[in-house]
Amino acid sequence: MAVNELYQYSLVNALMSGVSESGITAKQLIEKGNIGLGTFVKMQGELLLLDGKVYQLLAGGKIRIADDTDQIPYAVCTRFKPQSTETLTLENKDSVDTVLEKFNDHASNLFMAYRIEGRFRYLKCRTVKGQEYDGQPLSELGKKQFVAEYDNIEGTIVGFRSPSAWQGFFVAGEHMHFIDKDLKVGGHVLDIADGEVSMGVATIHQIHFELPTSEKFNSAKMSTDDVGLKSVEG
Ligand SMILES: [Zn+2]
């Protein structure tokens, strides 16, 4: 994988159909990029790839470093090299999109990756609690996620923006995961207020897909549930 190419394993629609029993290993993911996000087997928490380490952000606010052999049923990553880095204030979550637009307003149908470092006056994150039965769809898990709010917290956000037409393959729009400076808490970012940050951005136009060959993936009935996806990944 060259710099600023996107690698993705499986599809968000597969998670929506509950396909999450196996995947590539953490070791394999690290070879594909240096920043990324995803989830673990049975959707046990959120995944964050940061500087060659794969973190499992668990419900309850705990974090563990994944073993090389941990399996990953869904992930997206890139070998990130920012094309622009700026110091700025993020008033809210939508400000991220404003920054991306300012950097490149001809990328509506392209992908973008970003890395944000700094201090946030307020941050709201969620972590999925994991499947309670085999094949439980992600849309159902969204109703029982762990949500935490943090005041005055320092850390890193890794994010991707995907075009709206790719909903279901990716999460359309912004998708970002956070980890704090001390690597103690983190999750899927729901809300941001007043971030004093440094933000690196890159436009992506090369995409590599790897799809599972498992029987579960093969037999899953997949369709794009836009409303469901927005409720769980918004
Ligand atoms: Zn997420």
In whole angstroms, give the CA distance from residue 156 to residue 115.
7
State in Å: Cα 233 to ligand 1 middle: 6
In the three-class reduction of DSSP (H, G, I as helix; E, B as strand; rest coil), residue 193 is classed as strand
State in Å: Cα 94 to ligand 1 middle: 16
State in Å: Cα 39 to ligand 1 middle: 8
State in Å: Cα 1 to ligand 1 middle: 23
Tokens for 44, please give them.
Answer: 């046990």
State in Å: Cα 103 to ligand 1 middle: 24
State in Å: Cα 159 to ligand 1 middle: 9
Q: Which residues crowd ion ligand 1, with CB under 5 Å?
A: 188
State in Å: Cα 37 to ligand 1 middle: 7
State in Å: Cα 208 to ligand 1 middle: 19
State in Å: Cα 178 to ligand 1 middle: 9
- DSSP lists the bridge partners of residue 126 as 147, 188
State in Å: Cα 83 to ligand 1 middle: 24
CATH value of 6-233 in 3.40.30.10, 3.10.20.30, 3.40.50.740, 3.30.1330.80:
3.30.1330.80
pLDDT for 203? 98
In whole angstroms, give the CA distance from residue 162 to residue 173.
5
Q: Mean pLDDT in each 10-residue stretch from start to end of the chain (234 residues)?
A: 96 92 97 97 95 93 94 97 98 97 96 98 94 88 87 98 92 95 95 98 97 94 83 77
pLDDT for 162? 96
pLDDT for 1? 87
Tokens for 212, please give them.
Answer: 């599972």
